[in-house]
Chains A and B, each alone.
Chain A
Amino acid sequence: MDDLLLSKIRLGVVAELLNAQWVSFTDLAHAIETTNGNLGAHLAKLVDAGYIAEEKTYAGRRPLSRYSLTESGRAAFVAHVRQLESLLSGASEG
C-alpha cells in the first residue's frame, strides 16, 4: 500500500482532486472538514511527493492557493484503491 495515502485526510484530498481541474485551499478545507493548519501540513506532504501540484494565484486582489492532481498522484491513487479492494476481497474470502 502507499504509505502516503494511508492517511484518511490525504486520501480524501486526492479523491477530491480526482474529478477536478483544480480545487482551492478553502474548498478543500471545507470538503475535508479539518483545520487549515492540519490540511496545510498534509498538502505539503502530497506536494513534496509529487502527487499534487500547488499553484498560487489571485482571485481579484485576494491571494488564492489551488491544487491539482498530478499524473503520478492519479496513478498512486488508483493503485492504492486497488490494494484496498483486494484487501477487502481477501478478507471476505478468508
Chain B
Amino acid sequence: MDSSDAREHLEMVERIVAASSRKLDVSGELFLVWGLASGTLDLIVQLVSDGRVPGAAVWAGPLIVIAAVIYTAIRVRQYRAMPAGRMTLLEREFLNVLWIALSMAFAVNVIGGNMFSQWAQSAIWSVAAAIVLFYIAVHGNRRALVGAIVLLLSIALANFSLPIAGYVLAGGMYLGYAGFGLADMLARE
C-alpha cells in the first residue's frame, strides 16, 4: 500500500466516523404522551385536594397511567416490527439512562413512600424526567435543555407555593416534558 492509498483509506474512515457520530435521535411522541399523563395526574390530585372535583376523580389517575403504558407498549411493538437499519452506541446508552432514571424514581417512591409527602413524590418524577432531558441536551439538543430547566424551575416554584404545588408541577410536566416532545416532533416535520 502506498501513501496515496493510505490517505484515501483514512479519508474514507474519517467520513464514515463523522457521519455515524450523529446526534441523539429520540422519539418526541413518547415524551409528549408521558408528559401529558404525568402532568394530568398532578393536576387531578390538586383539583381533588382543592375540592374542585369529586374525590372519585383520583381513580382517573391509574387509568391515565394504564392508557400511557398501553400506548407505549403498542408503539414499542410497532418499532420492533420495523426493519430498523441500525442502533448507535449513543442510542443504547440513552435507553440505559432512561431506564435507570425512571426505575430509580419508581423505586424511591415505593421504598421511601412514608418519607415523602404527595408533592415530594411528584417532584421525584420531575427530577427523573429532568435527568433524561439533560442527557439528551448534552448531545446537542437545546429543546431538551429548555425542557429540563423548565422542570427544575417548576420544582423550585412549587417549593415556594405549596398550596398550588400540584398545578405548578403539572405545568412543569406539560411545558418541560410534553412540550419538549411536541417541539421535537414539530422540528422533524
Chain B: interface residue total (CB-CB under 8 A) = 27
Q: Give the residue of A19, A64, A92 whose beta carbon is less than 8 angstroms from that of B90.
A: A19
Contact partners of B89 in chain A: CB under 8 A: 19-21
Mark out the residues of chain A between 1 and 34 whose CB falls within 8 Å of any chain B CB in the assembled complex.
Answer: 1, 6, 8, 11-12, 15-16, 18-24, 26-27, 30-31
**Chain A residues in 8 Å Cβ range of B83:** 24, 26, 59-60, 62, 64
Please tell me if B84 contacts chain A, counting CB pairs below 8 Å. yes
Asked whether B29 is an interface residue with its Cβ less than 8 Å from the other chain, the reply is no
Considering only residues 41-94 of chain A, those with a C-beta below 8 Å from chain B are 59-60, 62, 64, 81, 84-85, 87-88, 90-92
Nearest CB of B to A60, in Å: 3
Alpha-carbon distance between A12 and B88 when the two chains are bound, in angstroms: 16
Partner of B91, one of A21, A30, A85: A21
- Residues A88 and B10 in contact in the complex (CB < 8 Å), given A15-B17, A20-B20, A20-B89: yes
25 contacts between A and B (CB under 8 A): A15-B13, A15-B16, A19-B21, A20-B20, A20-B86, A20-B87, A20-B88, A21-B86, A21-B92, A23-B85, A23-B86, A24-B83, A24-B84, A26-B85, A27-B85, A59-B83, A60-B80, A60-B81, A60-B83, A64-B83, A84-B9, A87-B1, A90-B3, A91-B3, A92-B3
Interface residues of B (CB under 8 A from A): 1-3, 6-10, 12-13, 16-17, 20-21, 80-92
A: residues with CB less than 8 A from B are 1, 6, 8, 11-12, 15-16, 18-24, 26-27, 30-31, 59-60, 62, 64, 81, 84-85, 87-88, 90-92
